[in-house]
Amino acid sequence: MQMFCYQCEQTTNGSGCVDLGICGKDPQVAALQDLLVHATKGISMLAHRAAKLGKRDAAIDRFVIQALFATVTNVDFDAARLQEHLTEAAAMRDRARRLYEDACKSAGKSAETLNGPTTWQPKQDIDGLVGQGRLVAITSRRAELAEDIVGLQELVLYGLKGTAAYAEHAAVLGHEDAEVYAITHEALDFLTKPQPAVADLLAWALKVGELNLKVMALLYGANSGVYGVPTPTQVRISHVKGKCILVSGHDLHDLGELLKQTEGKGINIYTHGEMLPCHAYPELKKYKHLVGNYGGAWQDQKREFSQFPGAILMTTNCIQKPKEDYKGRIFTTGMVAWPGVDHIGDNKDFTPVIEAALAAPGFAEDEAEKNILVGFGHQAILGVADKVIDAVKAGKIRHFFLVGGCDGAELGRNYYTDFTKQVPDDCVILTLACGKFRFNKLDFGDIGGIPRLLDLGQCNDAYSAIQVASALANAFNCGVNDLPLSLIVSWYEQKAVAILLTLLHLGIKNVRLGPKLPAFVTPNVLNVLVENFNIMPISTPEADLAKILG
């Protein structure tokens, strides 16, 4: 059986995974995910029309973002769980139909006759669902539509998927926004149009960027509202003696709940990957047993999880096929799933994780203490804005580089390490997301007390980067594109796509993107992006630095 997926950077041969995903997604799971996206479009066609008549339903809204999140790269590899989502999708679609029909009745209008994804009826077994999924895969549209159109449809969809993941993280903390759901439904409805125009697709791509900005702000409000404003914090990156749990992903709520449930149990909690910034949040760092950060970015997990002598909890994405030696002590929660791996449900009872940690040996002794500094969200940076602005005016800071985004396994990603090493001493590096693990343990020193490497946080804290850039532009009375600031972005999955669309929505130009350009961006679409935004691929650190710094 074959599949087609080109939604992430590591896609096979830079064109598409057809036999098996490099990520480990097989054709069966690929078809189920394609069907889930299709089903979600059907729900949104109805929910969008109901919303226009003033009716919404919280369960439908939430389901749609969860379903999109489940199809993000490295999230859900479990066919049985995807089957459950599909069964629920059919029920949600019926609920959305009733919502729309009731809304029509109240408004004295007759309901439109809708076809396509609104009429889908799920087959009863996985094989049947897989067959349905294959009929609605990207390949079915590729047979009918121009490659540019399909690529742009996917650009919009992938942006929505990334945005949905952030919206879900905010929602679990009780922060939701009806407009976010309304725009998501409208965008998914738009994606069902049979012959969309290129101009409309491009406009929707930017609109999804705008939506993502709103959602990242919502998530920043949720994270800092519940756990306090991040402040600069030293984080231990060497282990200490004792039993241990490693928490990976982006979900602060999961970490917060686990910290509560493990308090006084003699278990140390370590952050992994995108959880690193959590050490800067007052209501998380107050727990003494949140002892440090372990390991690097997601693609190193097989080696690092093998060596970690405790339990492991995956909260968002970037799970890889677990090795047998830790399969019994790794757990998933939220939208993440791997067949055969224990899943912690929405009640967030982490007892099995705690038991696995107690049964594992733990670290036998303390490792020599080593620390790194995190916690430079925009509120921390803007707290010393005067100092930063004075340093720029005095010529002590020549240039800012935002070097951030996702990490991945390819050799070409050494570019980001080499680039930061070659950034001259009178320049400041801002970073965010898991790409930072390529260089965040290097010593960059400081400029008059301002650290040369400022870690803004998770990928969603691109929101903070945007706030810092806007504040600097205000202070220097210029536009963001006129600042001595260059963006060197690495991408891997769909959250990075959402952030890229946000940057384009804001009119930010000259982004250098790597390690490779997205396979779904066709040459014609790339030309449009180059003309309007001067987006460009990375070349070599030497050449890029020379060009930027003149």
List residues binding ligand SF4 (CB under 6 A). Answer: 5-8, 10-11, 17, 21-23, 25, 73
Stretch that binds ligand SF3, among 232-240, 280-288, 423-431, 493-501 (CB under 6 A): 493-501
Is residue 26 within 8 A of residue 133, CB to CB? The reply is no
> Alpha carbon of 258 to those of 28, 222, 262: distances in Å?
33, 18, 6
Should residue 496 be labelled a site residue for ligand SF3 when binding is judged by CB under 6 A? yes
* 254 touching ligand SF3, by CB under 6 A: no
Contact between 294 and ligand SF3 per CB under 6 A: no
The first and second tokens of residue 509, run together, are: 């130009």
Q: How many CB atoms lie under 10 A from the CB of residue 124?
A: 9
Helical spans, DSSP H, in 424-535: 462-475, 494-505, 523-533
- Answer whether 459's CB lies under 8 Å from 496's CB: yes
**From residue 443 to residue 482, what is the string marking binding to ligand SF3 with x (rule CB under 6 A)?**
---------------xx-----------------------
Instruction: Select the span of 120-128, 253-261, 418-426, 488-496 touching ligand SF3 (CB under 6 A).
Output: 488-496
Report how far residue 279's alpha carbon sits from residue 481's, in angstroms, rounded to the nearest whole number: 32
Answer with the entry of ligand SF3, ligand SF4, none that 433 interacts with (C-beta below 5 to 8 A by kind): ligand SF3
* Closer to ligand SF4 by Cβ: residue 71 or 83: 71
Which structure tokens are listed for 452? 């040369």
Helix (H) or strand (E) holding 514: strand 512-514
- For residues 20 and 23, give the distance between their C-alpha atoms in angstroms, rounded to a whole number: 8
Min dist. Cβ of residue 435 to ligand SF3 (A):
7
Q: What part of residues 296-335 is at the interface with ligand SF3 (CB under 6 A)?
A: 298, 317-318
For residues 3 and 511, which CB has a smaller minimum distance to ligand SF4 in the complex?
3
Nearer to ligand SF3, 42 or 273 (CB): 273
In 3D, which of 315, 327, 331, 320 has the Cα closest to residue 458? 315
Give the phi and the psi of residue 44 in degrees, each rounded to 5: -70, -30
Nearest residue to 75 (alpha-carbon basis) of 434, 334, 337: 337
Closer to ligand SF3 at the Cβ: 10 or 28? 10
- Residue 78 binds ligand SF3, judged by CB under 6 A: no
Nearest to 431 by CA among 475, 376, 385, 509: 376
Residue 7 contact among ligand SF4, ligand SF3, none, beta carbon within 5 to 8 Å by kind: ligand SF4
> Is there a contact between 486 and 402 (Cβ–Cβ < 8 Å)?
yes
Output the smallest distance, CB 67 to ligand SF4, in A.
16
Per CB under 6 A, the list member of 68, 187, 423, 434 interacting with ligand SF3 is 434
> Is 274 in contact with 207 (CB distance < 8 Å)?
no
Cα of first residue to Cα of last residue in the chain, in angstroms, is 52
Cβ of residue 271: shortest distance to ligand SF3, in angstroms?
Answer: 12
* 25 conformational bin, left if phi > 0, alpha if psi -120 to 50, beta if neither: beta
Indicate whether 433 belongs to the interface with ligand SF3 (CB under 6 A): yes
H helical segments located in 263-413: 282-285, 301-307, 324-327, 351-359, 378-383, 385-393
Amino acid, single-letter form, for residue 221: G
- Residue 331: DSSP 8-state: E
> Segment contacting ligand SF3 (CB under 6 A): 22-30, 491-499, 507-515, 539-547?
491-499
Q: Is 159 a residue that touches ligand SF3 (CB under 6 A)?
A: no
499 binds, among ligand SF3, ligand SF4, none (CB under 5 to 8 A by kind): none
Residue with smaller CB distance to ligand SF3, 308 or 437: 437
In the list ligand SF4, ligand SF3, none, the entry touching 317 (Cβ below 5 to 8 angstroms by class) is: ligand SF3
Instruction: Give 373: exposed, middle or buried? Use CB within 10 Å, 0-12, 13-18, 19+.
Output: middle
Nearer to ligand SF3, 381 or 433 (CB): 433
- Choose from ligand SF3, ligand SF4, none: what does 495 bind? Cβ within 5-8 Å by kind: ligand SF3
| Binding partner of residue 8 among ligand SF4, ligand SF3, none, CB cut-off 5 to 8 Å per kind | ligand SF4
Q: Is 21 in the site for ligand SF3 (CB under 6 A)?
A: no
Three-point CA angle 202, 203, 204, nearest 5°: 90
Q: Judged by CB under 6 A, does residue 273 bind ligand SF3? A: yes
Residue (137 or 496) nearer to ligand SF3, CB: 496
Taking residues 384 to 423 in sequence order and writing x for each that binds ligand SF3 by CB under 6 A, - otherwise, the string is ----------------------xx----------------
Contact criterion met (CB below 8 Å) for 543 and 38? no
| The entry of ligand SF4, ligand SF3, none that residue 274 binds, CB within 5 to 8 Å by partner kind | ligand SF3
Near ligand SF3 by CB under 6 A: residue from 493, 517, 519, 529 = 493
Residues paired with residue 454 on neighbouring β-strands, in sequence order = 430
Task: Please identify which residue in 274, 304, 461, 544 interacts with ligand SF3, judged by CB under 6 A.
Answer: 274
Q: Order the strands of the 536-537 sheet from edge to edge.
A: 453-455, 427-431, 399-405, 485-490, 512-514, 536-537
Residue ranges that bind ligand SF3, judged by CB under 6 A = 250, 273-274, 298, 317-318, 406-407, 433-434, 458-459, 492-493, 495-496
